[in-house]
Amino acid sequence: MNALSPRPSPTDVLLPLDMEAEVLRTIETLMRYWEQRGEAAVDGFLAYVAEDFRGFGTGQCEHYPDRATLRAHTVHEHEQLPYAITFAAPWMQVRLLSPTLALAEGEFQVEVHMEPEKQVLHPRVSLLFEYRDRRWILLHFHFSLPNALQKEGDSLLELFKTRNRELEQEVIRRTAALERSLAELKATQAQLVQQEKMASLGTLTAGVAHEIKNPLNFVNNFASLSRELVEELVQELEAGTNPEAVQAILADLTLNAEKIEAHGRRADNIVHAMLEHARSGSRERRTVDLNALVTEHVDMAWHGKRARTEGFDAQVTKELGAVGQLAVVPQEIGRVVLNLMSNAFDAVGERAAREGAPYQPVVTVRTRQVEEAVEIRVEDNGPGIPEVIRAKVFEPFFTTKPTGSGTGLGLSLSYDIITQGHGGTLSVERADGEGTAFIVRLPVNVTATAPRV
């Protein structure tokens, strides 16, 4: 190169591939600025726009005769569009018309993040750039929306607003549908809860039938014996010869009457407990002998299992500590004990059916005072519950029993009765050696709240 040769311009030393890459990077910079909000972003965007800029779009408001009009429209759209906008997967082809002039044509994927879902547009664009002052400057562009989302004469802003109104209506429709589904789900859940209550009531009824039979047998036997004693007393009075025999008969009659009264009261208490268990509306706490309450429902669960399952046998051990009186909702705590005992009987019954002799089913019920709480522990030597399942046993509708053998609500309802209704805890752990232990802890002197059952 001699001294008379003209000095090369900056573009003379750029390879065509480098120039195309620079144009594409400029387009990406423009898009990033447009995604942002505020005057600074607009000014950064306009730094790449020529003063004699011209631009056209598909809507009547998208005609920009100069740079100032573009700036005003860009600021307006940034203020009016409350949505996040991003550009993804642009496809552009750059053609060099001259060393300082480039035409970029292609398609953008514009994501407008509306609720409940984003709106995706694919505008086609033509961009004309000129290389000035060591950068590519936008001289002209034209864009169009070929997917028919934009009505004739609408601006891009109006398109977004129209689409947003459509989405809002869709949200209203979907919300109404979800509310209907939720109402149906609640109705179904209420039916299943009632079904679970009736299942525990069935267990109670079978136990009551057996429990009440014993005092009724005593009442009938002592009543029959008393009738015979009355006949004997009449004979002695008519003979009038043995006052001592008359006194002995009267003493026996008095004793029989006391026994009839005691066993009648026992039968009345059993019926009363059954009615309380069946009454779903009562949520009042009463101070009760907790050991007596536990014993009563353990026995009912045992007799209920025997009545429902022919040949069932298991050793039931009660280890009742000095827990005294406790304020609880008796029918609800009774329901929990019935449920835990029923599950324990099912577990040992399953293992007995699988293993046979010499396996001996054992269910142990313990009560004890633990700091400021009373503990009821129901433990079995059944097959146990795997650790991965133990974490799910209190979830509604979760069950490992065969289809039709359980609703999966028993432990969930028991959990709510103890935790929400009595402010206590219900947990499960592996029993000593083998099997499963469910532990109920009831705090002492806690104000009652309504269980969610």
How many Å from the N-terminal Cα to the C-terminal Cα in the chain? 96
Residue 234's pLDDT band (boundaries 50, 70, 90)? confident
* pLDDT above 80 (res 395): no
Q: Tell me: pLDDT of 435 over 50.
A: yes
> Given a cut of 70, is residue 128 above it in pLDDT?
yes
- Predicted pLDDT of residue 207: 58
- What does residue 382 show for φ and ψ, rounded to 5 degrees? -75, -160
Segment 404-431 mean pLDDT: 80
Higher pLDDT, 345 or 36: 345
pLDDT number for residue 288: 92
Predicted pLDDT at 209? 63
Q: Residue ranges of the domains in the chain?
A: 10-154, 213-443
Q: Determine the average pLDDT of the residues in 265-269.
A: 73
Rounded to 5°, the CA angle 344-346-349 comes to 105
Does residue 368 contact residue 321 with C-beta atoms inside 8 Å?
yes
**Beta-carbon count within 10 A of 181 CB:** 10
Task: Give residue 71's pLDDT.
Answer: 85
pLDDT at 145: 72
For 152-211, the pLDDT digits (tens) are 545 555 666 676 677 677 778 888 888 888 888 877 767 766 666 666 556 556 556 656
Exposure string of 313-343, with b = 16+ CB inside 10 Å and e = fewer, is ebebeeebeebeebbbbbbbbbbbbbbbbbb
Of 229-243, 305-319, 323-337, 371-385, the one with minimum mean pLDDT is: 229-243
pLDDT, average across residues 369-385: 91
Confidence band, pLDDT 50/70/90 cuts, at residue 379? very high
Q: Which of 8-22, 71-85, 110-124, 142-156 has the lowest mean pLDDT?
A: 142-156
**Where does the pLDDT of residue 403 fall: very low under 50, low under 70, confident under 90, or very high at 90 and above?**
very low
Q: Average pLDDT of 121-145?
A: 87
pLDDT digits (tens, 9 = 90+) for 61-108: 677 888 888 888 788 777 777 777 888 767 888 988 888 899 999 888
CB-based contact 123:42 (threshold 8 Å): no
* The predicted structure's pLDDT at residue 158: 65
pLDDT at 345: 92
If you classify domain 10-154 with CATH, what class do you get?
alpha beta
How many Å apart are CA 48 and CA 136, to the nearest integer? 7
- 213-443: CATH topology: Heat Shock Protein 90 (3.30.565)
User: What DSSP letter does each residue of 280-326 carry, written as one string?
Assistant: SS----EEEEHHHHHHHHHHHHHHHHHHHSTT---EEEEEE-S--EE
Give me the pLDDT at residue 160, please. Answer: 64
pLDDT reported for residue 193: 64
Gap between the Cα atoms of 394 and 50, Å rounded: 68
The confidence score (pLDDT) of residue 157 equals 59
Which residues are paired to 84 by β-bridges? 113
**With 70 as the cut, is the pLDDT of residue 327 above it?**
yes
As a whole-number percent, the residues of the chain with pLDDT over 70 amount to 75
pLDDT (0 to 100) of residue 326 = 92
One-letter amino acid of 139: L
**277 or 58, which is more confident?**
58
The whole-number pLDDT of residue 11 equals 47
